[in-house]
Amino acid sequence: MTRTMSVAGSFYPASSKEIIQMIDHFNTILESHPDTWNRFNTLSGRAVIVPHAGWVYSGFTANIAFRVLSHNPPKTVVVIGPSHRIGFEGVSIADMDTYQTPLGDLPIDHELVKTLRHHFSLPCFPQAHHEHSTEVQIPFIKHYMHDIKVIELVYAYAEPAQIAPIIDYVLNLPDTAVVISTDLSHYYSLEEAKQLDSICLEAIRTENVQELHQGCEACGMIGVEAMLSVAKKRGMEAMLLDYRTSADASGDTARVVGYASALFRNSP
């Protein structure tokens, strides 16, 4: 069974050539600011927060996180994102064999899927796995990391307390990384969006779960809260990598969406 692509050609390019060209473009921009890139080039970690809009809007921000993650490449990446298509209780895991991308299929870590299903009583709702919040991350993983396996978790009506133990369990395994997918505020003016998003960014930077609830409007806040609680428990350091809004790409400052990426690493 294959987890087939559902948003290729809309959220990200449908051809491998276009994907590589787009990632190369992101990296050309990044490397044109050597002070910024030199700082990123020394980083590594096992967990990131990334956005999930169309690549034209949020791909640059996500690309930084995946390039940093590839500095110490894991063997399995667990991608966790919110459901935008269907509602269901809890967390669904993609119990399939492969994950389709324009760059070629990626194997799903079937043994770890079985372990997580058993340990956390996770169902597989096939309808949940046509989800863009997770799918837009997979071509980055395929591009940057070789001999890699993936796992896709999608949640709808869930609590952070249901997801945090899964993240903690995964981070206890060797050579396994976690990707948390979220966008920030939606459809405010640029000034309003930056004010609301600053709450989210400060909560992430300080790993302050309580601050998330002081006005942060991240659509994947459940996953973010779970990640922050695990990071704080494990003594991981949070580092903001990039923040921007859709206005940077579209020029529309009336109705913008916010995007951020962050890295969690073991404290020096």
Reduced to 3 states (helix: H, G, I; strand: E, B; else coil), residue 243 is strand
The dihedrals phi and psi of 235, each to the nearest 5 degrees, come to: 70, 30
| pLDDT score recorded for residue 36 | 85
Evaluated on CA atoms 217, 223, 225, 228, the torsion sign reads: negative
The answer for 215, left when phi > 0, alpha when psi is -120 to 50, beta otherwise, is: left
Predicted confidence (pLDDT) at residue 238 exceeds the cutoff of 70: yes
Express each pLDDT in 110-155 by its tens digit. 999 999 999 999 999 999 999 999 999 999 999 999 899 999 999 9
Mean pLDDT of 177-190: 97
CA distance 122 to 261: 27
Mean pLDDT of 4-22: 98
| pLDDT score recorded for residue 248 | 95
| pLDDT score recorded for residue 159 | 97
Mean pLDDT of 187-213: 97
Domains along the chain? 2-266 (3.40.830.10)
Token pair, residue 187, equals 């459809």
Strands 2-3 and 256-266, sheet pairing: unpaired
| pLDDT score recorded for residue 179 | 98
Mean pLDDT of 181-205: 97
CA distance 93 to 29: 35
| pLDDT score recorded for residue 267 | 75
Express each pLDDT in 64-121 by its tens digit. 999 999 999 999 999 999 999 999 999 999 999 999 999 999 999 999 999 999 999 9
Among 89, 25, 33, smallest CA distance to 56 is for: 25
51 near 185, Cβ under 8 Å?
Answer: no
Return the CA Rg of the chain: 17
Among 101, 61, 106, 89, smallest CA distance to 201 is for: 61
| pLDDT score recorded for residue 188 | 97
**Which of the four pLDDT bands, split at 50, 70 and 90, describes residue 190?**
very high
In the chain, DSSP assigns E strands to 2-3, 47-50, 76-82, 91-93, 98-99, 106-107, 149-155, 176-181, 186-188, 236-245, 256-266
102 near 140, Cβ under 8 Å?
Answer: no
Predicted confidence (pLDDT) at residue 183 exceeds the cutoff of 70: yes
Express each pLDDT in 22-61 by its tens digit. 999 999 999 999 888 888 888 999 999 999 999 999 999 9
| pLDDT score recorded for residue 39 | 86
DSSP string, 129-194: GS-HHHHTTHHHHHHH-SS-EEEEEEESB--HHHHHHHHHHHHTSTTEEEEEE----EEE-HHHHH
Provide the mean pLDDT of the chain. Answer: 96
| pLDDT score recorded for residue 268 | 65
